[in-house]
Structure 1
């Protein structure tokens, strides 16, 4: 089974990290996977051994998601878009995939409609069209513009299924996508996409502070450094700033390193570091929460909520309701409040963890294989709805 997996990350690395884990599971299941990326390069993603085509990179500019720039910071123009679109369509023709898997779209990534809509049209018009699937996290960002949800439903007419990477016992997509009932026959829950059960890291820390990709994590790190002074001085800390933290800020944090404070940009075995720690302090992004759940450590979450973002807050609240995390709102966060939350979490270490389905990567691979086998046997025609969600 040949799989072309398109993923466009624009700000953080969460979309790319989740897609990379799914790609690894597909390859382990015997698929020939090519990941097509469109963002700035991130070392280690996709994983070694996974075929990778990098389109000319785009990222978010200073004005937000409506302001896209290239790798040199220049505004993306029509010439750039036409070049990317041609490269993408040529790659599709050369790969001739059995499955076209598209991360986030059409629920998000409207910025790349200029190349995805032609790609989907070409795929659908092929004599033997591939299965076309959307790959989305379980909690979506609420649409703030009228008509966007209706546009998403209309676009999904060209998709065979939607892989929802979550455990429906924890979160169902209708909680963040109001029109989910209209696409119910296409929804397939996979479980949460998390790393394999981690091996404990060699070093041990009391507190692991992680800022995800780092693009919006500097304030949390700064607050935690101040909270550290309010806590016992014998606590060992490990701070992961994220690869996208601006270099001057990384250097400033690194200058604070000591015997009891390690500062890194990135560590591949984050879940392993957490499994060896007493408390994790982080935002509430999908992948970081997946690492926390795999590790089984106590967690203090400060969900990113600037600019009207809702997804991390909803996830954090659901975890808190299950006793899986302490939550502090980003607005008004103080070193004193963070230090108090860490003290409480340190006192809760060793509690039992409720069970959630954390095997979303391998289940995604199984679903694609079963759908491809069903199509070959004639029980699924391209464009037909898949089995409904219970």
Structure 2
């Protein structure tokens, strides 16, 4: 049985680890012996037959995502980096995998070069050499400097395969990565990675569903949604706010509103809802494209973190969703976007995008190894 060593690091939200868990579970079900190695805060994950290893955890120090800290907020020192790297390399040596997957690197996670570059060097030196694979989202940070783009291109030469978990008929990787022409011969689109969940729910019928993923940066959207409810065309509907475990503050329900934690039957709630209002993280958008009727996307974004804003804007350009940028978010602008979404076409009227990314990844890796 071929072994897969899959490195993933979530820093602020939980989208990266959720997507990696789906991929690890699918790879294991297809016959791989998978070890998912996580460097972020511990979470409960459904990994199926895949195994799991927790590195000493780190997180982003703040929303800027430039610096790392321990979970208690204390900065990383050289001793911590050396010890974590030692543990990672010893684990890799013991596993002797046939496939090494780095999630988002070298297009992101550059704060982890202290451990990922030695990991790449060890993989390249090992005989027989494992297949070295990068697993990356549909969109990367478009604010990369030209120097940073060139560094990513140079590092890609150490990889045998770049797996882009997106659908080029919807959003091409070249729209966000300026070095596309230099890596395209190593790259393969897999389709989006989606949870294969067929759950049903009695809840949420004809409601407005407001969600913020894990909730770490969701407070402004929840506040705006609370203010927009009375102003827009859906004031007579029940509004269900899913606050996420990492919100860090309470949200009070007013008349006509339900406030509750994020739910495992999110896709079923989307199918039942009249409208979804959410941020524009990868997993939420994939769920929205699969299940929602109409949607408003309000991306988390900064001058540096452009991924969610680009995803929401480019989908809005295609007419699939309505869009409000983070700097413009208010009860008034959100209400106007709700009106645009209700008057616009249903997402279900568009051709479906490719969401077979997990199974396609497994099939592609089996072919490459054979």
In structure 2, the residue matched to 1:84 is 84
Q: How does 1:348-359 map to 2 (within 5 A)?
A: 352-359=349-356
Match of 1:241 among 237, 240, 243: 243
Following superposition, the deviation at residue 213 of structure 1 comes to: 2.3
* Native 8 Å contact 1:210 1:281 kept in 2: yes
Measure, in 1, the Cα distance between the counterparts of 2:345 and 2:275: 8
Measure, in 1, the Cα distance between the counterparts of 2:96 and 2:157: 22
In structure 2, the residue matched to 1:274 is 270
Residues 64 and 340 from structure 1, CA distance in 2 versus in 1: closer, same or farther, beyond 3 angstroms?
closer
* Native 8 Å contact 2:243 2:262 kept in 1: yes
In structure 2, the residue matched to 1:294 is 290
Helix, strand or coil at the partner of 1:147: helix
- Deviation sequence 1:135-177 (CA, Å, 0-9, x none): 0011110244341111111111211000001111112211111
* Native 8 Å contact 2:25 2:48 kept in 1: no
Following superposition, the deviation at residue 215 of structure 1 comes to: 1.5
In structure 1, the residue matched to 2:229 is 228
Residues 13 and 63 from structure 1, CA distance in 2 versus in 1: closer, same or farther, beyond 3 angstroms?
closer
In structure 2, the residue matched to 1:316 is 312
Q: Which has the higher contact order (CA 8 A, sep 6+)?
A: 1
Measure, in 1, the Cα distance between the counterparts of 2:218 and 2:332: 18
Q: Is 1:365 paired with 2:366?
A: no
* Native 8 Å contact 1:278 1:349 kept in 2: no
Measure, in 1, the Cα distance between the counterparts of 2:241 and 2:305: 24
Q: How does 1:250-265 map to 2 (within 5 A)?
A: 251=250, 253=251, 255-256=252-253, 260-265=256-261
Measure, in 2, the Cα distance between the counterparts of 1:216 and 1:209: 14
* Native 8 Å contact 2:276 2:292 kept in 1: no
Helix, strand or coil at the partner of 2:92: helix
* Native 8 Å contact 1:190 1:363 kept in 2: yes
In structure 2, the residue matched to 1:387 is none
Measure, in 2, the Cα distance between the counterparts of 1:348 and 1:204: 21
CA RMSD, Structure 1 to Structure 2 (Å): 1.9
Helix, strand or coil at the partner of 2:289: helix
In structure 2, the residue matched to 1:170 is 170
Following superposition, the deviation at residue 233 of structure 1 comes to: 4.6
Helix, strand or coil at the partner of 2:69: strand
Measure, in 2, the Cα distance between the counterparts of 1:352 and 1:85: 49
Q: Is 1:18 paired with 2:14?
A: no
5+ unaligned residues in a row in structure 2: which ranges? Answer: none
* Native 8 Å contact 1:35 1:46 kept in 2: no
Residues 197 and 319 from structure 1, CA distance in 2 versus in 1: closer, same or farther, beyond 3 angstroms?
farther
Following superposition, the deviation at residue 269 of structure 1 comes to: 2.5
Helix, strand or coil at the partner of 1:36: strand
Q: How does 1:200-219 map to 2 (within 5 A)?
A: 200-205=200-205, 206-219=207-220
In structure 2, the residue matched to 1:380 is none
* Native 8 Å contact 2:153 2:182 kept in 1: yes
Q: How does 1:1-390 map to 2 (within 5 A)?
A: 1-43=2-44, 45-62=45-62, 64-196=64-196, 198-205=198-205, 206-231=207-232, 232-246=234-248, 249=249, 251=250, 253=251, 255-256=252-253, 260-347=256-343, 352-373=349-370
* Native 8 Å contact 1:100 1:133 kept in 2: yes
Helix, strand or coil at the partner of 1:65: coil
Measure, in 1, the Cα distance between the counterparts of 2:188 and 2:67: 33
* Native 8 Å contact 1:60 1:69 kept in 2: yes
* Native 8 Å contact 2:14 2:214 kept in 1: yes
TM-score by length of 1: 0.89
Measure, in 2, the Cα distance between the counterparts of 1:138 and 1:62: 24
Measure, in 2, the Cα distance between the counterparts of 1:171 and 1:80: 39
